[in-house]
Amino acid sequence: MATDQLIIEARAAWRRREAEVAVRTAMSAHAQGDAEGLPLACSIALRAYRADLLEAHRADVAAMSAGVLRDGVLAVLRIGAGDLDSAMSRITAVARDSLPGADPDPLGEEGPLLPLLLTYLATGAAASGAWVRARECIDAARAAVATASADAGEGAAALPPYLHFDLLGLDALVELHTGGGMSARRALAEAIAPLRMRNTLTADHALALICLGSIEHTAGRLGEAAINLGRGARLAPEWRPGVRIHGEVELAFVRIRQGRWRDAVDVVRATVAPLESVEHDWLEPQALAVHGLLLALRGDLEAGGLVLERAELLCRDTPSFLAHMVLTHARLMVAITRSDWTGLRRTLEDAAEPGYRRPYRRDEWWMLNLLAAWHLGRIDEFRRGVAIWARMEGAEQSAYYWAYVSILAEYDGRHPEAADAVARSLDRLSPDLDPLGRAWVRTVAGIYYSRFGTLGVPDPVRALAAYEEASAELSDLGAAGLAERYEAIVAQSTAELMLGDRSGQPAARLTEQQRKVARAVGQGYTSGEIAGILHLSKRTVDYHVANIMRRLGVSSRREIGRVLDDRP
């Protein structure tokens, strides 16, 4: 086939956005001696974010004249090799030294390549947590956009719309992690809001939405974060797998922090770094980290540990800020599950290093640090920490704060204060808290009630109720390892309650709510009917019935009425 026909076919394939066919056809023209073949292949590969298609032709590319086409392809291939710094140096040098009219682009009618390349590098730098380098690339990209706009003649092709939104999102993300104020975040939110209201968000806005979701995640606004991350991941076009995978991984992480572990599993089930992508080695640690975290949280510490170790190993060569965040959370959760308080303290210290923005609220962070201090026996440090926390704004609204006040008051023998603090901690439990944190607060309450009750006398009924609620929450969550541990506590507490019951009144083993449910069961009502009578969910009623049977030592609903002698 004539080379000019091959060039025509390559261009036609690119207009259909069939990048592989277009590059292969252009390289066939190059092999037959057409001087336009290789530059066209380079331009198509860069615009399609598929420089990997030219990996086998690296030597041919390197022999081209210096400029955006040659250095752009070689830079992106360096990213694939894990050398982000080298890629950035090459492209920023091109941006600095390029001359108008040099390095002619066969697809110049589609707009200049340099702003796209610089924005792509900024994305890679931000994903790696290299905030200073990301800022350099963003500034250079904006300068390149300004130059292109000034040089463009009448009828010149405009830059793709997604470039503007990519830069808005990246700018806001870098601003967050470098303490640069709030202006970029406001600009991003203001640009997205009218599009959301008109329901006109498209693939052009995918990265901007994910950046906005990441910012909201770090600020603790998990609901808003999930909405934007999920939408950004869904809108990400096929040719931007890095955007999609980053959105999916961070969405799964947010779902985990919300206690929606099953939703997280659904998100990551198909989250796999594509082998053909030049970004594979940068994306794989993210996908592995969240897979490993879910395995560990659900009780398979051995399998989860192997996956997490692999992710950590990959991060050494290709740093990923998101993978690092997920791995930190995994190390925290594994340490707590194993009661490895030294490991918990070490992980907290690592995460406190400058330049690392934690995705935890302040009360969550203090809760974790004081948990480590208490279990390591550092009472003076624990006491100072509680005192500092008490002076912080919002401390009195934190269930975690009051749980620690109760622990310290009990340690000092101030039991009326401890009982009051336990009650305050339970009153402040809310759906916004991490379910593992809620379970911990209930455990603190259960331990206190089992020892001192509310009046200085052990109250095994209230203690068991707290343990049961913690166990139910963990079981519903899917935290198999922790749920098993709590089930053992519940079983032991139930046995002690039954053994210590000298009243001869089985109803005394039940809480007031359980007595209401038991009375209705004894009268023959179904769980659905009881739910309507008591304004509860059927799931809550079934949970109460299971605990009632355990406390009464019976194995069927029919026996509940017999034991309580409350049949119609």
Report how far residue 212's alpha carbon sits from residue 264's, in angstroms, rounded to the nearest whole number. Answer: 19
Q: Residue 110 burial (CB < 10 Å; 0-12/13-18/19+)?
A: middle
Report how far residue 566's alpha carbon sits from residue 510's, in angstroms, rounded to the nearest whole number. Answer: 14
**Structure-token pair, residue 468:** 């049961």
| Nearest CA-CA partner of 248 in 292, 282, 290 | 290
Report how far residue 260's alpha carbon sits from residue 452's, in angstroms, rounded to the nearest whole number. Answer: 34
Mean pLDDT of 372-400: 94
Q: 165-176, pLDDT tens digit by residue?
A: 999 999 999 999
Report how far residue 224's alpha carbon sits from residue 222's, in angstroms, rounded to the nearest whole number. Answer: 6
Q: Which of 144-158, 337-351, 522-536 has the lowest mean pLDDT?
A: 144-158
Mean pLDDT of 451-468: 80
Report how far residue 368's alpha carbon sits from residue 356's, in angstroms, rounded to the nearest whole number. Answer: 17
Mean pLDDT of 314-327: 89
Mean pLDDT of 238-254: 91
pLDDT of residue 568: 41
pLDDT grade, residue 537 (50/70/90)? confident
pLDDT grade, residue 567 (50/70/90)? very low
Q: 196-212, pLDDT tens digit by residue?
A: 999 999 999 999 999 99
Greater model confidence, 457 or 370: 370
Query: What is the average pLDDT value for the chain, to the nearest integer?
Result: 86
Report how far residue 59's alpha carbon sits from residue 251's, in angstroms, rounded to the nearest whole number. Answer: 40
Report how far residue 227's alpha carbon sits from residue 246's, in angstroms, rounded to the nearest whole number. Answer: 14
pLDDT of residue 9: 93
pLDDT of residue 234: 95
Q: Which of 151-155, 164-168, 182-186 has the lowest mean pLDDT?
A: 151-155
pLDDT grade, residue 495 (50/70/90)? low
Q: 132-153, pLDDT tens digit by residue?
A: 889 999 999 998 888 777 665 5
Asked whether the beta carbons of 318 and 281 are under 8 A apart, the reply is yes
Asked whether the beta carbons of 77 and 278 are under 8 A apart, the reply is yes
- Please give the radius of gyration of the chain, using alpha carbons only, rounded to the nearest integer: 30
pLDDT of residue 212: 97
pLDDT of residue 4: 84
Report how far residue 135's alpha carbon sits from residue 50's, in angstroms, rounded to the nearest whole number. Answer: 24
Q: Which of 38-47, 251-260, 408-417, 536-545 has the lowest mean pLDDT?
A: 536-545
Report how far residue 520's alpha carbon sits from residue 533's, in angstroms, rounded to the nearest whole number. Answer: 9
pLDDT grade, residue 109 (50/70/90)? confident
pLDDT of residue 248: 94
Q: What angle do CA 386, 392, 393 make, to 5 degrees?
A: 140
Q: 117-131, pLDDT tens digit by residue?
A: 999 999 989 998 889
Report how far residue 496's alpha carbon sits from residue 74's, in angstroms, rounded to the nearest whole number. Answer: 71
Q: 28-52, pLDDT tens digit by residue?
A: 999 999 999 999 999 999 998 888 8
**Structure-token pair, residue 470:** 């913690």
Mean pLDDT of 160-188: 92
DSSP state for residue 34 in the 8-state scheme: -
